[in-house]
A and B are shown apart, each in its own frame.
Chain A
């Protein structure tokens, strides 16, 4: 399977800190790739570097064969890259509807696409005209993800979507991501919840100290407790 996204020797500096120290990775087209690692390993920085929010200081990033490491964030987004940050970053002063109107950049909201999203996240329909700032944490996460998938994207970068959410919402998110993948999107997903990662991931990348230290099949990592403990520092049970 060909890689939709590749990073080769990518370094990122934030101020005087050298965060990414030569990241090499490939994300296979049409697959869900999990990016795991301890806190501070560089997972969020990797996503932000791909998105152009923190520019790479060295190395090469390609999307569908096209170099994007010199591109500005809006241009990367316009190539069909959706981004769900860890902070969710919904526009709290805007309504749910207005958040989605902005996300549907190239035209009016597509009703059938909206109905599809409401199927996963009925709360968004109910609170359609409510200010996003008044939603609960879980509902903000639903909105943040809805914003990323309101239009078809070729690549979704999602940062810790299940963090701090109720189990029912985690299940809804997992269903949503699986459906998005079935519709042809490629997903690079940072996740701390190993159970969720295990359910969603086709392949896995593990980071440590700003580098990729393991790449392989998700199922293989899920089956190897010793490897999990060595790479992630915690047992599977501790992640559940």
Chain B
């Protein structure tokens, strides 16, 4: 009877905080190994900034994965397209980029980012309709189609912009560092952290405070039941795919400015990193993706500083370690 009337309280849900604490634990563990506190702070801030950029690129992919079980190996194309589209604004307006005024710099950066997101999002619409729609539920074909799409996109970028690397200098007011004691914190890294946190907060707000967000969360868990409630999940997925593509485009702009260059294979180069983040985080989990991006960036930065020879394999080792601990990622949302 108690189950019906609920006279007993529910068991308190276990708060799984260990993954959340993992980046902090890792950072603290690195302090004695790195030795110099100023180097440690610089590396930690660099990790956080890099992690935020990777998170922006990967957040859409994790929802696409979780919601519709689609393996999009072409996600990197949106990253590269976003970066190239930004050059259409930033290079002709180079005088605004070089102006020694934060407002002027932001006045050119903001429309470049918005245009990059819009074009990448629109490209996402085309990719979903043309490449992914015919191969729903067929993983092997999805891999072939989206990998093919990535190659075509890369070659199209070469054809349109040429094979050379395009330099993309940072806006003047975002160059240099803030010096606090012995510690130098690059201004652009602070901006990247801010943008990453804003994107994370916005996604959390949508997922937790809107009906569309509820539908996405429910769809990631059980898309069949969402359809049985009368919702056309394919339309929802198309929307998520476009937003995810747009965010990848934004991430591409951020990354290109971070590296101060744009090249057609940058999306391809980042694809593996983005997939590692999505797998570490748990398919469909935005929180897991956020922590996964931080961990990947920390391992890359700390590992590159301490054991440079391990830099190439450090992220794979991280993924193996996480999956041995939690085979479905840090926060498993789906049963896959």
Complex CA–CA separation, A133 to B12 (angstroms): 11
Q: Counting CB contacts under 8 A, is A177 at the interface?
A: no
Per-position binary interface string of chain B over residues 208-233, scored 1 when its CB falls under 8 Å from any chain A CB and 0 otherwise: 00010011011001101111111111
A93, A142, A166, A168 interface centre (most CB from chain B within 10 Å): A93
Q: Counting CB contacts under 8 A, is B16 at the interface?
A: no
A73, closest chain B residue (CB): B227
* Contact A92 to B221, CB < 8 A, known contacts A77-B227, A77-B229, A101-B211: yes
B11, B229, B231 interface centre (most CB from chain A within 10 Å): B229
Contact partner of A102 among B6, B11, B215, B333, CB < 8 A? B215
Per-position binary interface string of chain A over residues 141-170, scored 1 when its CB falls under 8 Å from any chain B CB and 0 otherwise: 010000100000000000000000010110
* Contact A91 to B218, CB < 8 A, known contacts A74-B227, A77-B227, A131-B13: yes
* Contact A135 to B221, CB < 8 A, known contacts A51-B228, A166-B3, A168-B3: no
Complex CA–CA separation, A127 to B6 (angstroms): 8
Q: Counting CB contacts under 8 A, is B18 at the interface?
A: no
Which residues of the other chain, B, contact A219 by a CB distance below 8 angstroms? none
A131, closest chain B residue (CB): B13
Grouping DSSP codes into helix (H, G, I), strand (E, B) and loop, the B interface class, with mixed when no group exceeds half, is helix
Q: Counting CB contacts under 8 A, is B313 at the interface?
A: no
Contact partner of A93 among B10, B217, B231, CB < 8 A? B217
Looking at the assembled complex, report how far the CB atom of A146 sits from the nearest CB atom of chain B, in whole angstroms.
Answer: 13
> Do B232 and A72 touch across chains, with their CB atoms under 8 A apart?
yes
Q: Counting CB contacts under 8 A, is B180 at the interface?
A: no
Which residues of the other chain, B, contact A166 by a CB distance below 8 angstroms? 1, 3-4
Complex CA–CA separation, A91 to B5 (angstroms): 21
> Do A169 and B4 touch across chains, with their CB atoms under 8 A apart?
yes
Which residues of the other chain, A, contact B225 by a CB distance below 8 angstroms? 85, 89, 91
> Do A134 and B4 touch across chains, with their CB atoms under 8 A apart?
no
Looking at the assembled complex, report how far the CB atom of B226 sits from the nearest CB atom of chain A, in whole angstroms.
Answer: 7
* Contact A126 to B229, CB < 8 A, known contacts A102-B218, A134-B13: no
> Do A102 and B227 touch across chains, with their CB atoms under 8 A apart?
no
Q: Counting CB contacts under 8 A, is A37 at the interface?
A: no
B225, B228, B233 interface centre (most CB from chain A within 10 Å): B228
Which residues of the other chain, A, contact B226 by a CB distance below 8 angstroms? 102
Which residues of the other chain, A, contact B224 by a CB distance below 8 angstroms? 53, 73, 89
> Do A77 and B3 touch across chains, with their CB atoms under 8 A apart?
no
Which residues of the other chain, A, contact B232 by a CB distance below 8 angstroms? 72, 74
Looking at the assembled complex, report how far the CB atom of A214 sits from the nearest CB atom of chain B, in whole angstroms.
Answer: 28
Complex CA–CA separation, A166 to B1 (angstroms): 8
B211, closest chain A residue (CB): A101
* Contact A139 to B5, CB < 8 A, known contacts A77-B228, A94-B218: no
Complex CA–CA separation, A172 to B4 (angstroms): 8
Q: Counting CB contacts under 8 A, is A83 at the interface?
A: yes
A121, closest chain B residue (CB): B4
Q: Counting CB contacts under 8 A, is A136 at the interface?
A: yes
Looking at the assembled complex, report how far the CB atom of A39 sits from the nearest CB atom of chain B, in whole angstroms.
Answer: 22
Complex CA–CA separation, A169 to B6 (angstroms): 11
Contact partner of A134 among B10, B227, B230, CB < 8 A? B10
Which residues of the other chain, A, contact B229 by a CB distance below 8 angstroms? 77, 102-103, 105, 147
Which residues of the other chain, A, contact B227 by a CB distance below 8 angstroms? 53, 72-74, 77
Which residues of the other chain, A, contact B221 by a CB distance below 8 angstroms? 91-93
Which residues of the other chain, B, contact A51 by a CB distance below 8 angstroms? 228
A73, A105, A172 interface centre (most CB from chain B within 10 Å): A73
> Do A53 and B228 touch across chains, with their CB atoms under 8 A apart?
yes
Which residues of the other chain, A, contact B211 by a CB distance below 8 angstroms? 101-102
Per-position binary interface string of chain A over residues 74-100, scored 1 when its CB falls under 8 Å from any chain B CB and 0 otherwise: 100110000101000101111000100
> Do B6 and A126 touch across chains, with their CB atoms under 8 A apart?
yes
Looking at the assembled complex, report how far the CB atom of A84 sits from the nearest CB atom of chain B, in whole angstroms.
Answer: 9
> Among residues 73 to 117 in chain B, which have CB atoms less than 8 Å away from a CB atom of chain A?
none
> Do A73 and B228 touch across chains, with their CB atoms under 8 A apart?
yes
> Do B4 and A105 touch across chains, with their CB atoms under 8 A apart?
no
Complex CA–CA separation, A77 to B226 (angstroms): 10
27 A-B contact pairs sorted by A residue (CB < 8 Å): A53-B228, A72-B227, A73-B227, A74-B230, A85-B225, A85-B228, A89-B225, A94-B217, A101-B214, A102-B215, A102-B231, A105-B229, A105-B231, A121-B4, A122-B4, A122-B5, A131-B13, A133-B13, A134-B10, A134-B13, A135-B10, A136-B3, A139-B3, A142-B4, A166-B3, A166-B4, A168-B1
Known: A53-B224, A135-B10. 5 other contacts (CB 8 A): A53-B228, A91-B217, A126-B6, A169-B3, A172-B4
The 3 closest A-B CB pairs, nearest first, are A123-B6, A77-B230, A126-B6
